[in-house]
Structure 1
Amino acid sequence: MSDPLSRIRQDVQGMHAYAVQDSAGMLKLDAMENSHRLPSALRAELGRRLGEVAINRYPGARVEELKLALAQYAALPSDWSLMLGNGSDELISLLAMAFVRPGSAQDPEVILAPVPGFVMYGMSAQFQGLAFHGVPLTDAFELDESAMLEAIAEHRPAVLYLAYPNNPTGTLWNPGVIDRLIDAQGAQGGLVVMDEAYQPFAARSWMESVQKEPDRHKHVLIMRTLSKFGLAGVRLGYLMGPAAIVHQLDKLRPPYNVSVLNAECALFALEHQEVFAEQAVDIRAERERLVSALNALPGVHAYPSEANMLLVRLPDAAKTFQGMKARKVLVKNVSTMHALLANCLRLTVGTQSENKQMLAALQASL
């Protein structure tokens, strides 16, 4: 009998699945989650709301209400539209799917992004048989403008991803450089996706630029997620852009891709967005305290961040990571992801008590 595994693509068989670390019994500061929980009264109220949801029915009107609520929250331009995804990951996959051309295996469309960056840009391109081209950042984790412009001219990418701020560096890149990349990508007929997963913690949103210069952004999409907002377990992302573009992309979305429970959770969160805004204020303040404390440690350098995470360079990242793990503190060792990240750990900014525990474990592990 022939082996059905032999029919699975060889490149897939050679890949590694997206790894999620075992966090049982650990202080979990590895995945950029919002460490704050809802107050108990709101948790009880949410429980009552979810108990009334008709889970015997497919999602319907409440999902449309959620889209309207998100459009209002994000100050969506009048000629833009919005689509929902099961997290940003699904939206990234759908974007890749939109540019797969039958019979194009020898000349596939290109997805372009700075690296190091979010791994799903490259993974989704590979899954769909597209080409991924990563352009290294500078040593200071800034965009290499000349290299990016050369890559756009050479590869004519279908999609250019710019994470704003970037993961794992937390960098909010120079807006003038971004403007010039947007212009170059538009001139050759490609899309730009501004990935604002960490928007609640950043000083700026690219939506401000869209509103000031709408004509410059007719080929630009903005992608966000409610994961960093405080709903990582809900798995809900949303993509915004000119209505004609979003209309075409929305055709690829699986029917009922957002559950009624997820939609109800998200609606509830938007109704209480002031609670989540207060949490974001606390996280930003804790982030600045952490930067000062980390940079006071010998041999440690914490890079500036506009996200709810910090990239930290240490004398020996692997040793420090294992030491922190032995002390029941789980962070992310990114030192092997890219040469620019050598001896770097990524730390989620937690609550005040969590950050104290993390600092103590890090210092003891140096």
Structure 2
Amino acid sequence: MSEKLDRLDKLPLRRDLVGLEPYGAPQIDAEVLLNVNENTHGVPLEVREAIAEAVQEAIQGLNRYPDREFTTLRTLLAGYLGHSLTPNHIWAANGSNEVLQQILQAFGGPGRTALGFPPTYSMYPLLASATNTEYVSGERSDHFSLTARDAAEQVAVLAPNVVFLCSPNNPTGTALGLDVVEAVYSAGESSRAIVIVDEAYAEFAKEGTPSALSLLPGRERLIVSRTMSKAFALAGARVGYLAASPEVTDALRLVRLPYHLSAITQATANAALQHPAILLANVEDIKCQRDRIVEGLRDLGLRPEESDSNFVFFGGVRNTSRVWQGLLAAGILIRDVGIPGYLRVTAGTAEETERFLTELGRLVQDESYLKS
């Protein structure tokens, strides 16, 4: 990497980019990939066939630009989300990262700040940097919790222009109560803060967990972002979206690139949204595997956090690097999130879950792997 940085020194790079390295989890070839929270079950055959047919039809018109307003996609997404949403409340882009970037392009920028509560999604500060938005790190309580009172007090003091609330949170996997969102929104009134609730893993939440979508009416500064990468198993298609007031979607039209969603992307997403029940059936199986991992980790003497996502964040490990390497040597790739004593594993298939727990059990039989 240092050689690449040396070569970059020959270019008139932006000052704030000097010395930085590209973001991204390690792309390592392993038999069992449980490191980036992908949907490990893949796209069901019936949905694959529907996508192939839709893409084949779209190919016939590739000499023309796609629908700039992705009207069908917005209509289908509004129908999927419910909550009396209309296409005017919906926006989409190439993955939720682009959605978040466009929000910061519209509401962040030089002289403005974005607040996040680490540990949380590591792209937030990077997206802030890319849009010349100052990123401010808030604080969580013990066990990585965030109460309505603590969050609201920090928003009131720091007066950010944008607030990121990740629920379920990545990497901890826990969902926020709606009281946190309501308190943050009220506390941000004086600074007119845009409040983003990142619900990328919402479909994996435990039964009865409410969505911030229910809070949208009357809150024009509230945005709920989602993705089709996780529950819909379309990580490779790159489709993210949000629900917000029509004022927000109009603002994003000011910063989006023209025709930013290709005809192929739109066709893929539209076809998948015709089969939500089939895709969400896989979600239920993934949730079962997640809960099985939590139980298995406890049996091994480790400390998994309760999870509302498709992954499990667990502590009690003395040497995270050693455990990570030991699993990789056994053909299993999980994620070292850089928090001492903690690792994160994606919920895989039943076979992948069994293999992970078996190999990890073999490793932790050596007490040196456990945190004292």
The question of a shared fold, defined as TM-score above 0.5 by the shorter chain, is answered with yes
Residue aligning to 1:362: 360
Unaligned runs of 5+ in 2: 1-7, 365-372
Match of 1:89 among 97, 107, 111: 97
Deviates more, 1:89-98 or 1:44-53: 44-53
Residue aligning to 1:69: 76
- The DSSP-based 3-state class of the residue aligned with 1:22 is coil
Residue aligning to 1:260: 263
Residue aligning to 1:31: 36
Residue aligning to 1:193: 196
How far is the alpha carbon of 1:62 from its aligned partner?
8.9
Change (3 A) 1:12 1:82: same
Match of 2:295 among 285, 292, 304: 292
Deviates more, 1:226-235 or 1:72-81: 72-81
Contact 1:136/1:144, CA 8 A, preserved across alignment? no
Residue aligning to 2:369: none
Deviates more, 1:257-266 or 1:61-70: 61-70
- The DSSP-based 3-state class of the residue aligned with 2:89 is strand
Residue aligning to 1:48: 53
How far is the alpha carbon of 1:120 from its aligned partner?
1.4
How far is the alpha carbon of 1:293 from its aligned partner?
0.8
Contact 2:159/2:190, CA 8 A, preserved across alignment? no
Amino acid at match of 1:90: E
How far is the alpha carbon of 1:322 from its aligned partner?
0.4
- The DSSP-based 3-state class of the residue aligned with 1:362 is helix
Contact 1:152/1:184, CA 8 A, preserved across alignment? yes
Amino acid at match of 1:39: P
Amino acid at match of 1:98: A
How far is the alpha carbon of 1:176 from its aligned partner?
2.1
Aligned 1:92-241 pairs, distance under 5 A: 92-100=100-108, 104=110, 108-203=111-206, 204-207=209-212, 209-210=214-215, 214-215=217-218, 217-229=219-231, 230-241=233-244
Amino acid at match of 1:305: S
Contact 2:35/2:334, CA 8 A, preserved across alignment? yes
How far is the alpha carbon of 1:111 from its aligned partner?
0.1
Match of 1:15 among 20, 31, 34: 20
Change (3 A) 1:100 1:160: closer
Alpha-carbon distance in 2 for matches of 1:117, 1:44: 36
Deviates more, 1:179-188 or 1:323-332: 179-188
Q: TM-score, normalised by structure 2?
A: 0.88
- The DSSP-based 3-state class of the residue aligned with 1:307 is coil
How far is the alpha carbon of 1:297 from its aligned partner?
0.1
Deviates more, 1:78-87 or 1:308-317: 78-87
Alpha-carbon distance in 1 for matches of 2:352, 2:16: 40
Unaligned runs of 5+ in 1: none
Change (3 A) 1:364 1:55: farther
Contact 2:225/2:243, CA 8 A, preserved across alignment? yes
Contact 1:95/1:249, CA 8 A, preserved across alignment? yes
Contact 1:46/1:268, CA 8 A, preserved across alignment? yes
Alpha-carbon distance in 2 for matches of 1:16, 1:10: 14
Q: How many equivalent residue pairs?
A: 350
Alpha-carbon distance in 1 for matches of 2:284, 2:213: 20
Match of 1:308 among 289, 307, 310: 310
Contact 1:234/1:262, CA 8 A, preserved across alignment? yes
1:85-126 deviations in Å (ceiling 9; x for gaps): 11011111111212356xx5xxx2110011111111111111
Alpha-carbon distance in 2 for matches of 1:208, 1:126: 28
Amino acid at match of 1:56: N
Alpha-carbon distance in 2 for matches of 1:330, 1:93: 29
How far is the alpha carbon of 1:45 from its aligned partner?
4.0
Change (3 A) 1:363 1:78: closer
Change (3 A) 1:31 1:72: same
- The DSSP-based 3-state class of the residue aligned with 2:79 is helix
Amino acid at match of 1:99: F
Change (3 A) 1:62 1:109: closer
- The DSSP-based 3-state class of the residue aligned with 1:332 is coil
Deviates more, 1:231-240 or 1:50-59: 50-59
Contact 2:213/2:243, CA 8 A, preserved across alignment? no
Change (3 A) 1:50 1:323: same
Amino acid at match of 1:34: N
1:172-211 deviations in Å (ceiling 9; x for gaps): 1232233211211134311111111001101334245326
CA RMSD of aligned residues (A): 2.1
- The DSSP-based 3-state class of the residue aligned with 1:227 is coil
Alpha-carbon distance in 2 for matches of 1:25, 1:140: 31
Contact 1:186/1:219, CA 8 A, preserved across alignment? no
Residue aligning to 2:5: none
